[in-house]
Amino acid sequence: MKSKVGVLVMSYGTPESLEGIEAYYTHIRRGKAPTQEQLQDLTDRYEAIVGGVFPLRENTNLQVTELQAALNRNQDQSGIEFVCYQGLKHASPFIEDGVEQMTKDGIKRAVGIVLAPHYSIMSVGGYIKRAQEKATELGLDMSFVESYHLHPKLIQALSERVSAKLDQFEEAGAIREDVRVLFSAHSLPKRIIEMGDPYPEQLLETSRAIAEATGVTSWQFSWQSAGRTAEPWLGPDILDTLQELSVEQIENVLVAPVGFVSDHLEVLYDLDIEAQAISKELDMRLMRIDSLNSDPLYMETLRAEVLAALEKGN
């Protein structure tokens, strides 16, 4: 009989229904309920996005299924069967539920990986801390993938997407070299800089690697989707960058949200609706690269990272 290795695939999570938005938002705000106005604003954003109200759930489900298939491919000789479990940060099944389910299923050894390539103490670090605490409590042996922002297959998948969109700009009459590529990721509170957090540098490393692979020289990095809180967040925000590019008379902009791996609210609303509306006002042509979702190269990236973490942990 094969020995089972659990893989906790962690992702942000999304509500299950419109009625579930309040509980979800309260969880994100660490137990503090949103005001009626904040709740209405978030509900309106979900209702506005194309591709279903909560596309992240379906996308995460598919990524987990595809990763399990990729992990078990060509494992006949290894004596290992990989079983993937979901652990969501802000929705059910929560990270702790995933760890608990593994132990209930008799799993003794597991690897955790987050569906976000870049490490920050405030993002991936938080996922890992919660999983490790539960694993320690239940006596499960777990190791973790912290980041995979320069994995060659991830860079290849993202570079192919950038090149494909640059082709579309050319087809629309633009000169390829004149298109400004804007790499982006979720902003975080500015205080991560004083904490020596690797998040900003890892994002720049991913951006540089893609620029090099695609021959893009006209690029810059911008932050997006900053939280609505009083403290300062990392900038410049992408909406301000678009205004600045308009002053520079840049007419064609390609956004590459390299910090995200799925179609979800932060891509489908913040970029496809909000940023798109501003670019229209500025008379600018704005396109976005397709999200990775369950791209085979992304699944291969995750597979390789899980296998390496398992090897290292043994």
Q: Name the CA radius of gyration of the chain, rounded.
A: 20
Burial 4-13 (b: 16+ CB within 10 A, else e): bbbbbbbbbb
Query: If you ran DSSP here, which 8-state letter would residue 94 be given?
Result: B
Closest distance of CB 171 from ligand FEC, Å = 30
* Binder of ligand FEC out of 110, 135, 192, 265 (CB under 6 A): 265
* Binder of ligand FEC out of 77, 217, 229, 249 (CB under 6 A): 229
Contact 294, 129 (CB under 8 A): no
The reply to whether 82 sits near ligand FEC by the rule CB under 6 A is: no
CA distance 81 to 98: 17
The reply to whether 222 sits near ligand FEC by the rule CB under 6 A is: no
The reply to whether 123 sits near ligand FEC by the rule CB under 6 A is: yes
The reply to whether 186 sits near ligand FEC by the rule CB under 6 A is: yes
Number of chain positions touching ligand FEC (CB under 6 A): 20
**β-strands 252-256, 285-288: how paired?**
parallel
Which stretches within 90-225 are classed as H helix?
A: 95-104, 124-138, 152-171, 199-214
* Binder of ligand FEC out of 14, 184, 207, 214 (CB under 6 A): 14
Q: Which residues contact 18 (CB under 8 A, 6 or more apart)?
A: 43, 46, 47, 53
The reply to whether 238 sits near ligand FEC by the rule CB under 6 A is: no
Residue 186 annotated as part of some ligand binding site: yes
The reply to whether 88 sits near ligand FEC by the rule CB under 6 A is: no
DSSP string over 113-143 = EES-SS--TTTHHHHHHHHHHHHHHHT-EEE
The reply to whether 272 sits near ligand FEC by the rule CB under 6 A is: no
Q: Which stretch binds ligand FEC (CB under 6 A): 71-79, 102-110, 147-155, 264-272?
A: 264-272
Q: Which residues bind ligand FEC (CB under 6 A)?
A: 12, 14, 25, 28-29, 42, 54, 56, 116, 122-123, 186, 188, 227-229, 259, 264-266
Residues in the annotated binding site for Fe-coproporphyrin III: 12, 29, 45-46, 127
